[in-house]
Amino acid sequence: MKTQPELIRGLGLIGASSVVAGTIIGTGIFLVPSTMAQAVDSVGLVFLVWVVGGLLSLAGALSYAELGAALPEAGGEYIYLRRAYGPLWGFLYGWEQFVIGKTGSIATIATGFAVFLGYFFGGLNQKMLLVPLGGASWSLTGAQIVSLAAIIGLTIINYLGILVGGAVQVIFTFLKLAAILGLVVLGFAVGQGDWSNFSPFFAAPKGAGTLSAFGVALVAALWAYDGWNNLSMVGGEVRDPERNIPRALIFGVLLVGGVYMLANAVYFYVLPLAAVKVSQRVAQDAARSFLGAWGGAAITIGALISSFATLNASILSGARVPYAMARDRLFFRHMADVHPVHRSPAKALLLQCVFSCGLILIFGQSPDAFSRLFTYTIFGLWIFYGMTTTAVFVLRRKEPDLPRPYRTLGYPWVPGIFVVVAAMFCVNTAISKPEDTGLGLLFLLLGLPFYWVWSRKGGPAQS
């Protein structure tokens, strides 16, 4: 009987770390400092929010590190939830990720890439392709064409295997970090900044209470830190995973936290707090203050590189979830096929590409629709973050003899704190956005008939 080809472990420590850092650093660091400054109205509190957000992300990463080292397989949270709570919870996570969560993220990042490219090429929002359909017509804008090309191009790159996709990720993550650090160095070297912008360092927020304002700013920071979990999805392709998965998770989050702190330091050095609060594009405004007209172009190039690296990491990691589900016979069987030459989950990558491009075609002329889609999945996303972290506790009880090359630092407090924060986030979302929460839960429940069909056809493979 012919042996099916398997994925190869082609990601080393640098490649794995680039997946972590490259996924986290998107456009958030270029935009959210103004949102945070508006909320807390204090330079010191902005930095404190970044520290707390980084520590919470690190707590999640430390917890995932234990799971990733013990279960270094493709699929990430799907694998951990299936092992701890059974196949249904693993399936529901994968259902949300594939149909909307990850594919929607890919479509949104690609749309953002096209928006940044429009800085240099005007008119991308104009209709460039018009197809008559009876009495109506269907059109494509230049921005949609760029978005589709980016998704298809990077899917082809990752179709060629983890070695190619990983190399692209390392290169563009390095360029992304170099662009941000270049901004920092230039800002301190030639910017006509003023250290008095940091004084007073701490001040109580005006209007809303300090705790409430801090919470608003923390949500923005956690969004900028989001993506640290993506390495777990490619756990089956990391070399020496027992050592490299924990190291890459911890190093990646710490690296991003340090870069974020440096970027904010230069923002506040060249711009006063009042200017940061009203800025819609704080990184561009900061760069313009010491680079003039070139500042906007420089930051836009950095944002293009950043979004390109994030898009590649999302495409690379996202396809591993449906691949893992298909191996357990909880998804289309052929999605478990591995390319015999490139050793990539080729069919899962192609299906992910089709879904993501479909979202571009449907919603691409109304980018706000993407943010609306995400509000439906935020509640479920944080439920799964919390459940995955509680899997650390569950598996220690259920499988005490499971080899654990890495054990969560600060257990049980570190994973416990993250679970509490995830629960608070879910409760706050349910209270503040009950309609979106309800629709998000409904969307999860829509996966149940599909689970019933696939589980009856074969059921999950035995672990």
pLDDT above 50 (res 461)? no
User: For all residues of the chain together, what is the average pLDDT?
Assistant: 90
pLDDT tens for residues 338-365? Answer: 999 999 999 999 999 999 999 888 887 6
Q: Tell me: the pLDDT tens digits for 227-260?
A: 999 999 999 999 999 999 999 999 999 999 999 9
Confidence of residue 432 (pLDDT cuts 50, 70, 90): confident
> Tell me, what's the pLDDT at 349?
98
Share of the chain above pLDDT 70, in %: 93
Which pLDDT value is given to residue 463? 40
Distance CA 363, CA 373 (A): 10
Q: How many CB atoms lie within 10 A of CB 219?
A: 18
> In the prediction, which pLDDT does 208 show?
55
pLDDT the model gives residue 126: 77
Residue 99 reports pLDDT greater than 60: yes
The pLDDT confidence band at residue 293, using thresholds 50, 70 and 90, is: confident
Confidence of residue 431 (pLDDT cuts 50, 70, 90): confident
Q: Is 59 within 8 Å of 417 (Cβ atoms)?
A: yes
What pLDDT, on the 0 to 100 scale, is given for residue 138?
73
Q: Write down the pLDDT at residue 206.
A: 64
Predicted confidence band at 410 (pLDDT cuts at 50, 70, 90)?
A: very high
What integer pLDDT is reported at residue 186 of this predicted model? 93
Q: What is the pLDDT of residue 261?
A: 97
Whether pLDDT at 128 is above 80: no
Q: Using DSSP, state whether 138 is helix, strand or coil.
A: strand
Residue type at 463 in one-letter notation: S
Over residues 207-226, the mean pLDDT reads 82
**Model pLDDT for residues 150-174, shown as the tens digit of each residue:** 999 999 999 999 999 999 999 999 9
Give the count of alpha carbons within 13 A of 268, CB side only. 24
pLDDT score of 219: 85
Q: What is the mean pLDDT of residues 128-140?
A: 71
Higher pLDDT, 167 or 26: 167
DSSP 297-338: HHHHHHHHHHHHHHHHHHHHHHTHHHHHHHHTTSS-GGGG--
Closest CA to 64 of 49, 77, 45, 82: 77
- Residue 433 pLDDT exceeds 90: no
Per-residue model confidence (pLDDT) at position 141 = 87
CA distance 210 to 111: 35
The whole-number pLDDT of residue 370 equals: 62
pLDDT tens per residue, range 441-453 = 888 889 999 999 9
- Average pLDDT (109-122) is 87
On the question of pLDDT at 1 being above 70, the answer is no
Tokens of 30: 């270029």
Q: Picking from 90-99, 189-198, 443-452, which range would have the lowest pLDDT averaged per residue?
A: 189-198
Does this model's pTM top 0.75? My answer is yes
* Residue 353 tokens, joined: 């590409």
Enclosing H/E stretch for 130 = strand 127-133
**Residues 50, 263: contact at Cβ < 8 Å?**
no
- Could you tell me how far CA 330 lies from the centroid of its own chain? 24
User: Domains in the chain, ordered, with CATH?
Assistant: 13-457 (1.20.1740.10)
* pLDDT for res 228: 92
How far, in Å, CA of 60 to CA of 113, rounded?
A: 28
- Residue 347 and residue 344: Cα distance in Å, rounded? 9
Q: Is the pLDDT of residue 69 over 70?
A: yes
pLDDT, mean of residues 191-220: 80
The answer to whether 267 and 276 are in contact (CB under 8 A) is yes
